[in-house]
Structure 1
C-alpha cells in the first residue's frame, strides 16, 4: 500500500513540470511513510511513497526496474494471487530479486502485455514506463479500491493517488461547477469528474496507454451483469449459499498474506462478523477492533462485536469514544481532504484507523456487502415501493402527516418519520428519479438555489444532465433491485464508501482490505436473482442465511443502524462560531462569490430553529466545501 505520482511530457514545456515530482510525493507522505523514490527519464518522471507490507527490505523499494533497465514501475496496492503468478513465471524461466508482488506485476506485464490485467486478483493503481518505446501504461483495479487521478493538456499527462499530489505539480485550479452542483446534492463528487476542470478520475477497470504521442483509454473489466443469465441461474438457493461461503472463504484467505501485523475491523454487524469468522479459520487469535460510543448508546454496537470476538477467541480491542474524541479529530479530517467530501462517518473511520494503526498495519473490513447484496434501508424502501400494496399506499396517503412531523436521524421515531416521508415521495417517482432521490441529501431545486444567480447562468445544465443520465443509465422502469445495486456499485461504492476508507486509512498509514470486493465474489453476486438478496422481510438475505451457522444468533435479533455523528449538537455549540462568524458568514459568502447570501441565511436559521430536520447534513457539506476552498483556492 503506497502512494504514486508521475508525469509524461510531450514537449519541452511539459518537461519543465518534471521538476515538481518530489513535491508531489512529499504531499502524500502519509500514504507511504517508510520511504520514497523517484525516477526521471527524458520525458517521464515517476514518484513513489512506500508503506511496507511485503518484503520489508530495500529489494521492495520503488520505482522498481527490470534487470535490463528498460521497464520501470510505480505501484500502489496489493496483488493477492501473486505467489501463483510468480510460480508460473518462474516455470517459464523468469527470475526474481525480491519477494514482492510489485516485481511479479512488472514481469507479468513484460511477458504478456495489457492482457495480464485480467489475471490479477487485488486492488491497485500503477504505472509502467517502457524506455525503449517511450510509452507509459497506467491502470486501475476493477472496483476502484485504489484511487488514481489524471490531468491532460497539450504538453503533458499528470497522474497521482491524491489531488494534493496533482496540485503540487502546479495544475490549473479551475472549479468544475457541475461537480460542485453534484456535491451539493450528494455530499461527494461522482467520477470520472473531479472538483477541478481538466482533472479526471481514471475509471475503475480502465487503463490509459500513452505511446507515440497518442493517449488511449480503454475498459479492461466491467461487472458482468446480464439480466437473462440472472433469470436463468441454474443454482438452487441452497447451492448459491454454499458457493458464496466458498468464494468468501477464498477471498478472505487470500487477503491474509502480509509481512506485518494484520487484523480486522469488527463493528458487530453481519458483514464484518462474516470476515472475522472466516479469517479465524486461517488465523489463530486474530486481532479485531471495534469502536464504542459512550455518549451515543443508541448507536453503540460493541456488545454484538464482543459476542463474535468471544466466539472466535480473537484478540479484541474496543476503542470507547466520547463525542469530544470525535470533535477533536474534525480538523484532522478537514485538513487532509483535498477534494470536497462530506460523508460525516469519515470522522469515525479516521479515529478507528488511527487507533487500529497503533497495533497493526493491515486491517480487513466488510465494505461492499451492502452494495452487492442489498443491505441498506433504501434498498428495502425501493423494493417495497416496487411491490406496492396496502402498506405502501397507506404511507403515501399519509404524506401530509410526514411532512409536518419532526424528523431526525438521531432518534428512532424521528428517523422513522424521515424514512416514511422519503418513502411516500418515492412512490410518486419513476425508478430513475426515485434512485436519485434516495441517493441525495438535497434535491436539484434546493441545491441550485444555493448558487448566486450569476453563477447559475454558467452552471452548464446540459453537462449536468448528461452526467446524471450516465449515472442512471442502467436503471429501467421494468427493472429490479439488481439494477439499483449495479448503479450503487458505480456511484455510491466508487465515489463515497471506498474513497472514505482509502482517505481515512491512508491518512493514518493503514492498509484496509475488502474481501467482499474480490472480483470472484462480485461476479458471482451479479448472477444472483433479486429474490436471493432481498424480500419483504429481509435485506442482504443470502449473506444472512449463508453465514447464520457461523454467527451468534443475537446478531440477527436487532435492527441495523449506522452511526450518526452528532453534528447538530456541535453546530449549535462548539462549531457555531465557525458557521456564523467564519465559513458561512455573510462576509465570507459575499467575498467568495459562489453562493446566495439569503439562501445561506435561511439554512442557518433552520439549523438553529426548533425543527432543524436533516439540515445538519447540508450544513456539513457546506462547511467541508468552505474549509476546502479556504485551503486550496484562496
Structure 2
C-alpha cells in the first residue's frame, strides 16, 4: 500500500510540469512513510511513496525498472495471488531479484500487457512506462478499492493517488458546480467526477493507455449480472460455497511481512472475518472503538464476545465525545476533496490508534452492499413485496411528516425511516433508489446554491449523471439491480473512499475480504431470497456462520455510528459556524451559496425541532473548511 503519482507530457509545455513531480510525490508521504523515490525519462515521470508490507527490503522499492531498462512501474496495493503468478513466470524463465509482488506484476505486464489484469487477485492502482515505445499504461482494480485521479489536457496527462498531489502540479482549481450539487445531495462526489472540472477519477475496472498523442480509456472488468444462477443446488449449498470462498479470500489476505490485525466492530461482517482469520492465525490482533458518551452506538460488548470466542488479542479504544472532537480538525485538514460522511471521523481515529500496533488490518466492508445489509434494503424489499407495513407507512405519511425525526435516538430514527419508506413507496425503481441514496432532495440542494452557482450547475449535465448512475435499474427488475447500483455508487465513492483516505492518513493498509472478486461474482449469482426476506437482511451471511458466532450477535438492531454533530454545532462548533465558515458576510462574499438559505438552516439548527438539519449543515461545514484550505487560492 502506497501513494503514486506521475506525468506523461505531449510536448515541451507539458514537459515543464515534470519539475513538480518530486513535490507531488512528497504530498503522499503519509500514505507511504517508509521511502520515496521518483523516475524521469524524456517526457515522462513516475513518483512513489512506499508503505512496506511485502519484502520490506530495498529490493521492493519503487519506481521499479526491469533489468533491460525498458519498463518502469509504480504500484499502489497488493496482489494476493502473486506467489502463484511468480511460479508461472519462473517456469517461463523469468529471474527475480526480490520477493515483492511489485516485481511479479511488472514482469507479468511485460509479457501480457493489459491482459495481465485478468490474472490479478488484489486491489491496486498502478502505472507502467515503456521507454522504448514512449507509452504509459495506468489501471485500477475491479472494485475501486484503491483510488486514482487524473487530469488530461492538450499538453499533459497527470495522475495521483490523492488530490493534494494534483495540487502540487498547479492544476486549475475551477469548481465543477454540478459536482458541488451532487456533493450537497450525497455528501460525496460520484466518480468519474471530482470537485474540479479538470480532474477526474479513473472508474473501477478501467485502464488508460497513452502513446504519443493517442489516449484511450477502456473498461476491462464489470461484475457479471447472472442473478439466480449460483451454480449450487440449494440454499445450504450456497451457504457452504460462500463460506469456502470467503475463507479462501481471508487466507489470501493474511500474507504480510509486517504485523497484521483486524477491525472488530461487533457486527456480523467483521465478526465473520475475524472468525475465518482466527482459523489461520493464533492470537489474532483485533481492534474496536467504544463510545463512552454515546451508549446507543456502543457495540463493544458484542466485539468482546467475539474476541473471547476466538481468543484474539483484543484492544478496545474507548472514546469520549471530547476525543472525537479533538481529532475533527486533523481529519478535515487531511481531506483534500469535499467528503462529508461523518463516520469517517471514527475510522480516522481507529486507524490512527490501530497503526500503533499493526501495519495491516482486515475489515468487513462490502458485505452490506453485496448481501443487502442496510435499512434501505429492507425498505426496498418491503415495497416490492407489498403488505400491511408498507400500506400503513404510506397511509400515515402525514403523521411521519409532522413528527420529530433524528438519527440520534431510536424513536426519532424510526420515524425518519418510516417517512422515507412512505415516500419511496410512491416512486418507481429509479426515483426510489435516488431518494434512498441521497441525504438531500435535488430541489433543496439546488436551492442552497447562489443564483450564479445554479447557472453553472447545468441541469442537463446533472440529469445525464443521474441517468448514468441509475442505468442498471429497470422497471420491475430484479432486487439485485438495487444492490448492483450500490456497488457501483455507494461502495467505491463513499465506503471505500472513506476507508482508504482515513487509513492511509496514518499509513495503515486495510484489506477487504468480502470484495475479493470471487466473492463478489458469487454474490451476484444469488437469488434475492438468499440475501433478504421479511425477517433477515444479509440472510446468507448470517446463516452461513450462525453456528460459529456468538448467538448474541443475532436478532439485534444494526446501529452504525453517528458523530454527535448536533451537540457540537450547538456548542463547540457554534462560533465556527456563526462567525467564520457560515457567517452571513463570508457566504455572501464567497458567492457560492445563497446566504438566505444558509441562514434558514442555521436558524433551524437552533430551533426546538432541528430534525436532521445538522446533516445538511455538516456538508456545508466540510465544504467551507475545504474551500478555505484547498480551493480559495
**TM interval, short-chain normalised:** over 0.9
User: Residue 232 of structure 2 contacts residue 238 of structure 2 at CA under 8 Å; is this kept in 1?
Assistant: no
Following the alignment from structure 1 to structure 2, what is the Cα–Cα distance between the partners of residues 95 and 617? 56
1:146 matched to which residue of 2? Answer: 146
Show the 5 A alignment for 1:94-493: 94-227=94-227, 230=228, 234-493=232-491
User: Residue 376 of structure 1 contacts residue 539 of structure 1 at CA under 8 Å; is this kept in 2?
Assistant: yes
User: Residue 205 of structure 2 contacts residue 221 of structure 2 at CA under 8 Å; is this kept in 1?
Assistant: yes
Q: Deviations over 1:12-59 (max 9, x none)?
A: 000000000011011111000101000000010100000000111111
2:64 matched to which residue of 1? Answer: 64
Q: CA deviation at 1:587?
A: 1.1
Match of 2:614 among 613, 616, 620: 616
User: Residue 265 of structure 2 contacts residue 303 of structure 2 at CA under 8 Å; is this kept in 1?
Assistant: yes
Following the alignment from structure 2 to structure 1, what is the Cα–Cα distance between the partners of residues 376 and 84? 41
Following the alignment from structure 1 to structure 2, what is the Cα–Cα distance between the partners of residues 329 and 527? 42
User: Residue 70 of structure 1 contacts residue 132 of structure 1 at CA under 8 Å; is this kept in 2?
Assistant: yes
Structure 1: state its 5+ residue gaps.
Answer: none
> TM-score w.r.t. structure 1 length?
0.99
Q: CA deviation at 1:234?
A: 4.9
Q: CA deviation at 1:568?
A: 0.3
Q: CA deviation at 1:233?
A: 5.4
User: Residue 371 of structure 1 contacts residue 493 of structure 1 at CA under 8 Å; is this kept in 2?
Assistant: yes
Show the 5 A alignment for 1:582-621: 582-621=580-619
Partner SS for 1:67: coil
Q: Deviations over 1:478-510 (max 9, x none)?
A: 113200100000100010000000000000110
Following the alignment from structure 1 to structure 2, what is the Cα–Cα distance between the partners of residues 441 and 606? 17
Cα RMSD of the aligned pairs, angstroms, is: 0.8
2:536 matched to which residue of 1? Answer: 538
Change (3 A) 1:115 1:455: same
Partner SS for 2:456: coil
Partner SS for 1:224: coil
Q: Which runs of 4+ in 1 moved over 4 A?
A: 231-234
Partner SS for 2:49: strand
Q: CA deviation at 1:235?
A: 2.8
Q: Deviations over 1:410-432 (max 9, x none)?
A: 11111100101111111111111
Following the alignment from structure 1 to structure 2, what is the Cα–Cα distance between the partners of residues 222 and 167? 31
Q: CA deviation at 1:455?
A: 2.2
Partner SS for 1:457: helix
Q: Deviations over 1:354-399 (max 9, x none)?
A: 0000000000000000000000000001110111112211111101
Following the alignment from structure 2 to structure 1, what is the Cα–Cα distance between the partners of residues 208 and 486? 25
User: Residue 174 of structure 2 contacts residue 197 of structure 2 at CA under 8 Å; is this kept in 1?
Assistant: yes
Aligned residues: 632
User: Residue 265 of structure 1 contacts residue 290 of structure 1 at CA under 8 Å; is this kept in 2?
Assistant: yes
Q: Deviations over 1:496-538 (max 9, x none)?
A: 0000000000001100000000000001100000110000111
Q: CA deviation at 1:632?
A: 1.3
User: Residue 230 of structure 2 contacts residue 525 of structure 2 at CA under 8 Å; is this kept in 1?
Assistant: no
Q: CA deviation at 1:226?
A: 2.9
Following the alignment from structure 1 to structure 2, what is the Cα–Cα distance between the partners of residues 69 and 451? 53
Q: Deviations over 1:215-259 (max 9, x none)?
A: 1111111011134xx268553111100000000000000000000
Partner SS for 1:172: coil
Following the alignment from structure 2 to structure 1, what is the Cα–Cα distance between the partners of residues 276 and 136? 40
User: Which shifted more, 282-291 or 551-560?
Assistant: 551-560
Following the alignment from structure 2 to structure 1, what is the Cα–Cα distance between the partners of residues 357 and 306? 20
Partner SS for 1:164: helix
User: Residue 286 of structure 2 contacts residue 315 of structure 2 at CA under 8 Å; is this kept in 1?
Assistant: yes
Following the alignment from structure 2 to structure 1, what is the Cα–Cα distance between the partners of residues 517 and 233? 19
User: Residue 233 of structure 1 contacts residue 528 of structure 1 at CA under 8 Å; is this kept in 2?
Assistant: no
User: Residue 143 of structure 2 contacts residue 515 of structure 2 at CA under 8 Å; is this kept in 1?
Assistant: yes
Partner SS for 1:139: strand
2:34 matched to which residue of 1? Answer: 34
Following the alignment from structure 1 to structure 2, what is the Cα–Cα distance between the partners of residues 374 and 180? 29
Following the alignment from structure 1 to structure 2, what is the Cα–Cα distance between the partners of residues 438 and 608? 27
Following the alignment from structure 1 to structure 2, what is the Cα–Cα distance between the partners of residues 29 and 160? 13
User: Residue 230 of structure 2 contacts residue 526 of structure 2 at CA under 8 Å; is this kept in 1?
Assistant: no
Q: CA deviation at 1:270?
A: 0.2
Partner SS for 1:408: coil
**2:81 maps to 1:81:** yes
Partner SS for 1:329: helix
Following the alignment from structure 2 to structure 1, what is the Cα–Cα distance between the partners of residues 230 and 190? 33
Partner SS for 1:571: helix
